[in-house]
Amino acid sequence: MGLILDTSILIAGERRRETVKQVLQRVQAAHNETEAALSAVSVVELTHGIYRAKTDVDRERRRAFSEELYRDMIVHPVSLAISQLAGRIEGEQTAVGNIIAFEDLLIGATALYLGFAVVSLNVKHFQRIPGLNVLSL
């Protein structure tokens, strides 16, 4: 089983001034899993953070971290099948009063579709998705 890294893991690593390699080593040491990837949704969230930076120094550090990340990791797109899975999950869960943040829904659906777990600092958010294996770091 592989891992989809939630954006929270990446942001925390970037804020600690870790390299992508260091973030991946920490994740792999904690979960004994060598295959890690991203959802395209994390690209949106990280890009948002670049343009929200308050200083040029922060903006460039975030940009460099993101570029290293995209170079070194697989980024899974939100495909038709993943979109349909997310829509089914959202419809079923909304019907029973379980509201899931859209970004988390898409990241979680990506992991479910691939048969991967999600690694997150926001475990509670992803535990709202039935059948998803959620790991913390």
- How many CB atoms neighbour CB 126 within 10 A? 26
Domain count, the chain: 1
Residue 93 confidence (pLDDT) above 90: yes
Mean pLDDT of the chain: 95
**What's the confidence (pLDDT) of residue 68?**
95
* CATH code for the domain in which residue 106 is found: 3.40.50.1010
- Given pLDDT bands bounded at 50, 70 and 90, which one contains residue 34? confident
Residue 33 above 80 pLDDT? no
Which uninterrupted H or E stretch holds 9? helix 7-15
Residue 115's domain comprises: 3-136
Indicate the DSSP class of residue 51: H
> Edge-to-edge strand order for the sheet containing 36-39?
74-76, 36-39, 3-5, 117-120, 134-136
List, for residues 42-59, the tens digit of each pLDDT value: 999 999 999 999 999 999
Q: What pLDDT, on a 0 to 100 scale, did the predictor assign at position 137?
A: 85
User: Element (H or E) spanning 4, and its range?
Assistant: strand 3-5
